[in-house]
Structure formats: C-alpha cells, structure tokens
Amino acid sequence: MTVPTSAPREINSLADKLLEIHDWLRDQLVHLRAEADAHFAARAAHQGPGQPPAPGLGLQIRQRCLEFCDTLTFHHTAEDDHILPGVLTHHPQLRATLDRLADEHRALSRTKERLLALLADIATVDADVFLTAFDRLAGELTAHLEYEETWLVPVLAQVPFPPAPTGPQGR
C-alpha cells in the first residue's frame, strides 16, 4: 500500500513552518493508521491456538506511535508557551480563538493519553478498541489543525522564518 506524503514546502514565514509541521502530523496519521491495520491483520493471521502474536510489527507501531505522540506534545507545548502568547500580544482580538486552541491542546492530550494506554499492550489490545481510539485522535487532531490554520496562518504569514538574528551582530 502506497501512502501519500506531502511535498516539501518552502519555508519563508512562521506560517510556512507551522504548515510544514502540520503536514508532517497529517502524513504520520496516514502512515500510523496503515501500520495499525497491518499489525492487526498480521496478528489475526498468526494467532491460532497456542501461537504468540507477531512481535515485530507491534513493536514498530508502538515506536512510531510514541514518536508521533512525543512530537505532538512538543508541538503543542511550543505553541502554548511561545506562539499563542506572542500572537495574543499583537492580536488581542484573537483571545477567544487562542483560548479555544489551548483548550483543544488539552483535550487532544487527554485523547492521546488514552491511546497511549492502549498502545502499552499493543500485542493483545482489542483491534476495534485501539482503532476507534486512534481514529478519534486523528479526527480531533485534523479538525484542530484546520481550525488553527484558519486563524493562525494569516497572522503568522507576516513573521519571517527563521527569525532574524538579534544582538550586536544582527543589527
């Protein structure tokens, strides 16, 4: 199965950087769902009476999910700690939008933690339960990214990336 991957984008602004990260997150959701489907199909094919689950694919999906979840946490923490406060300083009229984005970050964190709890036992977790939890995270995250892009991309498009050096050398 071929999984689509976003083409690299030119990075000239903070909006471009945000979109690059969002593209990666979306691509990973597609890859992870395909790997989860493959894992559960292989597990079903190899689990007969007295047969252990196929460990290789389970380990792979576990590692990839952990990497994805760590990156998502890092991304949302960076937004909460640096991006959203900076936007609020320059665009106080967006307070309600920024509050909603921060609330969504917390909700996504809870959904992600539920998925990670299931992931801890990927070898025996019920496939439907895991895939439902994964699809919930994917749906919530996709909706969040779309909302965030609607409001933040126009604002961040005016911020150069990488930022200009500051200090005596960068003047």
pLDDT at 164: 74
What mean pLDDT comes out for the span 93-100? 98
**Domains (range + CATH), the chain:** 14-156 (1.20.120)
Residue 2 binned pLDDT confidence (cut-offs 50, 70, 90): very low
- Asked if 12 and 45 touch (Cβ cutoff 8 Å), the reply is no
Question: In the structure, what pLDDT confidence band is assigned to residue 43 with cuts at 50, 70 and 90?
Answer: confident
- Asked whether residue 171 carries a pLDDT value surpassing 70, the answer given is no
The answer to whether residue 96 scores a pLDDT higher than 60 is yes
Instruction: Output 77 or 53, whichever has higher pLDDT.
Output: 77
Query: What pLDDT does 130 receive?
Result: 96
pLDDT in tens, 99-112: 999 999 999 999 99
